[in-house]
Each structure stands twice: as C-alpha cells, then as structure tokens.
Amino acid sequence: MREYRLDLTAEAPADLRTLFKAEVSALQLEIGFGGGEHLLHRAKEAPGIGFIGVEPFVNGMAKMMTALGKTPLGNLRVYDDDATRLLDWLPSASLDGIDLLYPDPWPKKKHWKRRFVGAANLGRFARVLKPGGRFRFASDIDSYVNWTLLACRAHGAFAWEAGEAADWHQPYEGWPGTRYEAKAIREGRRPAYLTFIRK
C-alpha cells in the first residue's frame, strides 16, 4: 500500500510524472474506481500513461491492493479518501483526463445536491485539467446525465463532445465495463457515456 498511496501532507511535485516509478507521459485520474476493473485494465494496457485512482471505500482499495500485489504496476498511484482533497492538492493544468464512472447516483431529488458533479467540483476539474484535457462521465441514471450536461454547460469551461444523440450510448473506445455498469444493465437501465473537453 505504502508504495502506491499518495501522501498529501507533502507538497505535490510540479511535474506529476515524477510520482511514478515508470516513465510516463500523460496523466489520468479516475475518481471512485470501486472494484478497480476499469482502472487496472487501462493502466495495464497503457504503461506509458500515469494513472491516479481514488477510492475511499475500504473494500475497493483492498481489492486493488490485492491485484497490485499479484501484478505490480509502476504507472499507478492511489488515494483512499475524498477525491476533492486530491483535486485541491494537484497542480493547475496537470492532468490530461478525468474519468468519473458511475458516481453515486443520488436518484432522489432532495439528494441531488450531494452528487459529485456540481459547480464546485467542475471548478476543481477545470483548474487541474490541461486545456484540451478530457472529462468523461458515465452513468445509468438519466436524471444524473441531464444534470451533468446542464452543469457543464452552465459552468462554461467545458465543451461537450457529441456527434449525434446515439453517441451517448456508445461506450468509450476499449471500454472494459465496470461492476456497477454490469449491474445497471442486468437491471434494464441503459448507460450514457459523455465526454467533455476542457476549453
């Protein structure tokens, strides 16, 4: 765990690539990686990209550590607390991409304010993403998809990348799926996959 966990009490290096044992060029963040299926898949297929994964849920992190014990990865670091703390620690314009895949949906209207997507966190994303950097958001909850489209439009720093409406339902390239997604599909919900570009 120690070699993978980021210590936020130390100042973030100006060049995040130095956080990794492997030589990496681009930097990606995945927030709330759950069982880690997607993050591990991406990190294994792209050894030249540095990945940071955040997951406060102890079982998810334990599963990730078990996987890394079997197959060590020099291009992966993790953080086991609230992603907002990590975002505030990162230098400005330091990331090439942020993936927020099936965030906690908070489907009841009275709980929508608890959703991870909101003006404050979009401000954090806008600060840490490089111009041209990519924010990907997947969800099976229609009200959260609409909520995110509206919030990104209102924020102003992001352009939604969509050719036609059908694109929403097309998984991202090389998509391995996630555990939460498999459950949503089993239960008859249709996921949407949004991509926004930091202007």
Ligand X SMILES: C[S@@+](CC[C@H](N)C(=O)[O-])C[C@H]1O[C@@H](n2cnc3c(N)ncnc32)[C@H](O)[C@@H]1O
- 15 carries an active-site annotation: no
Residues 31-90 within binding reach of ligand X (CB under 6 A): 31-35, 54-57, 60, 82-83
Give the CA diameter of the chain: 46
**What minimum distance in Å lies between the beta carbon of 21 and ligand X?**
24
The secondary structure of residue 5, as a DSSP letter, is B
Residues 121-150 within binding reach of ligand X (CB under 6 A): none
Helix 58-70 to helix 37-45 angle, to the nearest 10 degrees?
Answer: 30
Q: Which residue number, 7 or 164, has a Cβ lying nearer to ligand X? A: 7
Binding mask 156-195 for ligand X (x = CB under 6 A): ----------------------xxxx--------------
Residue 147 φ then ψ, to 5°: -55, -45
Round to whole Å and give the CA distance between 15 and 10: 14
Round to whole Å and give the CA distance between 193 and 23: 30
Binding residues vs ligand X (CB under 6 A): 31-35, 54-57, 60, 82-83, 101-104, 178-181
Active site residues: 104
